[in-house]
Structure 1
Amino acid sequence: MNKNRYLAVGSLSIISALLLSGCSVSDLLSDKLDESTTRTAESSSEAVANGLLPNWVPDGGTNIELVQRNTGNERIFVMDYEGKLSDGQCTTLSQVGDPTDEELARAYASDPRTKDLEAEEISTTRTLDAEWWPDNAQERTTDLCGRFWVHQADGKLYAFAPDLVAQVQAIEKERAAAENSK
């Protein structure tokens, strides 16, 4: 009998918590694709060592801010950095902001997370945002560093790693559904 009482009390507690929080059962049962996590680091060497940033990121960067998609591979980050990018790990685009299919294919093939994907499977659309991220930053891309689209401006290095086309489409669909339910 005590077991049933504990189950009943536990169930009522969950329902009460949902009602008080404004969440619905469907919110608990569905995965949200459009969720992200913000992380920071003091130095680029620390961030690379901890796996927060990829290996191509040069030493000497400070004040790292990163937003990463919880359910995918998309990332945006910024760091204070005045130096140059490594020639061995980054490739300068032939035209700023407009990588060719060949440039994308070469860059994605050099990155462990995208090496087995076709360039067409990877979106060019950014779905993450942050107050420190410049408008139309992808259009300023000067280099591809693996899967990251990179540019430098005003003493900062900005990088964007896109997600799969299917993931971006699912996020856009989720956003539209949320907007329609308002």
Structure 2
Amino acid sequence: MQTLRSRQASIAPLGIVLATGALLTGCGLAEDIADSLDTSNSKLHHVDTGAEGKESGLLADWVPDDAEDVHVLQRTTGSERLLTFEYSGGMPSECLEIDTVGSPTQEELAAAYETDARTRDFEVTQWSTEPTMQAEWWSAGHESRTTHLCGRWWVSETEGVFHAFAAELNG
């Protein structure tokens, strides 16, 4: 007859084997544990193409599938995002050109934000107009170069390099 102690002794090695196997097979357990211990308020992502980023849910639909070298700095405690990518095809057609570079009007913001599920149910004034995060590929004040609004994204393009900033919901 097996005692409680002998059953516990036989179950413990099984648990160790399963946990070790999970870590070695890359099932994501170690990554899930690491993510749960991450106390930063932002996360940097890189994907090779726009299609790859959209497939994973990282990128908005307006980002071209053919975009390359895509970097996203994502606020994990809110909606703010910084984005850069290379693309030679010009500004996506679904983006709204603004009249004054770097200074979209309330009406332009309302029209663009209405097309984005994250912003459509809020007043324009509830959204930030400049990023608070920093990245080495995002120069301070870059939002002042905005020429288009793509949903909630403030976007500019120079020589095939796109920079975009997604607004943060204020307080």
TM range (shorter): 0.7 to 0.9
Q: Within 2, Cα distance between the matches of 1:120 and 1:49?
A: 32
The one of 93, 106, 110 aligned to 2:111: 106
Superposition misfits of 4+ residues, deviation over 4 angstroms: none
| 2:73 matched residue in structure 1 | 67
Q: Say whether the 8 Å CA contact 1:38–1:67 is kept in structure 2.
A: yes
SS in 1 for 2:113: helix
Fraction of identical pairs, as percent: 40
SS in 2 for 1:132: coil
TM-aligned CA deviation for residue 125 of structure 1:
2.4
Q: Say whether the 8 Å CA contact 1:58–1:85 is kept in structure 2.
A: no
Where does the alignment leave 5 or more consecutive residues of structure 1 unmatched? 1-31, 167-182
| 2:50 matched residue in structure 1 | 44
| 1:165 matched residue in structure 2 | 170
SS in 2 for 1:165: coil
Say if 1:33 and 1:121 are closer, same or farther in 2 by CA, change over 3 A: farther
Q: Given the alignment of the two structures, is residue 85 of structure 1 paired with residue 91 of structure 2, yes or no?
A: yes
May I ask how many residue pairs the two structures share in their alignment? 134
Q: Aligned partner of 2:157: which letter?
A: Q
> Deviation string for 1:76-113 (max 9, x for gaps)?
010111211222x2100011100000000111111011
Q: Aligned partner of 2:89: which letter?
A: G
Q: Aligned partner of 2:44: which letter?
A: T
Q: Within 1, Cα distance between the matches of 2:165 and 2:107?
A: 19
Where does the alignment leave 5 or more consecutive residues of structure 2 unmatched? 1-37
Report the TM-score, using the length of structure 1 for normalisation: 0.70
Q: Say whether the 8 Å CA contact 2:91–2:157 is kept in structure 1.
A: no
TM-aligned CA deviation for residue 163 of structure 1:
0.3
TM-aligned CA deviation for residue 116 of structure 1:
0.3
Select the structure that is richer in helix. Answer: 1
